[in-house]
Structure 1
């Protein structure tokens, strides 16, 4: 998982606080809810980047809308980001926080590319096999249909890619035919 250099510091500080207070799940849900509000309302793009809106107006807006709906820790994070003029890294903080929570729970997210949609049984089988390979307890599967794969599958977990697609095997075969078999 690629981490945002600055966002990760905020995420890890919030993670430590959440872990200490036993609020990991709650804070994860709150961060995702705030992010959803930001995306749905274009608050980050249209309001927070507007040059005529002062930090005090931004802080009042955030306090009015989120106070009582999120924990004081998440609210303080939002206010701190406004003070430091780093509101734009909030999505990276949420992503990094979620990654830290998943690591703590032994969960990894996997993107599986296949030629046709996977059944629940196939997802469970891929999850079981690759959770062992990655050393995680659980693997959350996001299946993406890609007709170019022809058959087989390609699995991306963090920065690792396991490619067992027919298209990549054909490509390797083509390379061997063009350049000859180097391993005599």
Structure 2
């Protein structure tokens, strides 16, 4: 995560907090990030040096017609400062700030299959206490190479109880 993206996200978060629109800004940023991920050509178009900043801002105004004004202004500022390539990083950092402010933490759970709602709730309850939060916002990534079990990543902490890691530990013990 770049320091620049972090600063823009913090400024946007403070503005959204002042305007009591954190949830609205968060939803708009999620929508914008989804659009960029679904259409990578959009970001390439916005980064194109041959297109003027005014034209880029005009395109963004049409795309973000129903978005919160703070989101529109931030994205247009990123265009002016030639930092539009940081938009996804700004959105991710904003989401982390919003989640943390709500007493939660973001967690990535790697498993061999999609987790059920009950499993998500159980993992959230168990691991939230370990990091001093009330709940976890879980993103589930399916990774067949772990063979079984789960690996939970919360910030810099990794809790690994996968079959693959246990087999690797056993292998190291037996080979030495």
Change (3 A) 1:122 1:57: closer
Q: Does 1:127 align with 2:108?
A: no
- Which of the numbers 84, 89, 94 marks the counterpart of 1:92? 89
Cα distance in 1, alignment partners of residues 112 and 141 from structure 2: 8
Q: 2:17 aligns with which of 5, 16, 19?
A: 19
TM-score by length of 1: 0.85
- Structure 1: gaps of 5 or more residues: 180-184
Task: Name 1:182's counterpart in structure 2.
Answer: none
In 2, Cα distance between the equivalents of 1:135 and 1:7? Answer: 26
Aligned residues: 175
Residue 40 of structure 1 deviates from its aligned partner by: 4.0
The offset of 1:144, in angstroms, is 3.2
Q: Which moved more, 1:33-42 or 1:49-58?
A: 33-42
Which of the residues 128, 136, 153 maps onto 1:139? 136
Contact 1:114–1:153 (CA<8 Å) still a contact in 2? yes
Point out where structure 2 has 5 or more consecutive residues left out of the alignment: none
Contact 1:112-1:143 within 8 A present in 2 as well: yes
Q: Which residue does the alignment assign to 1:43? A: 42
Aligned Cα root-mean-square deviation (Å): 1.9
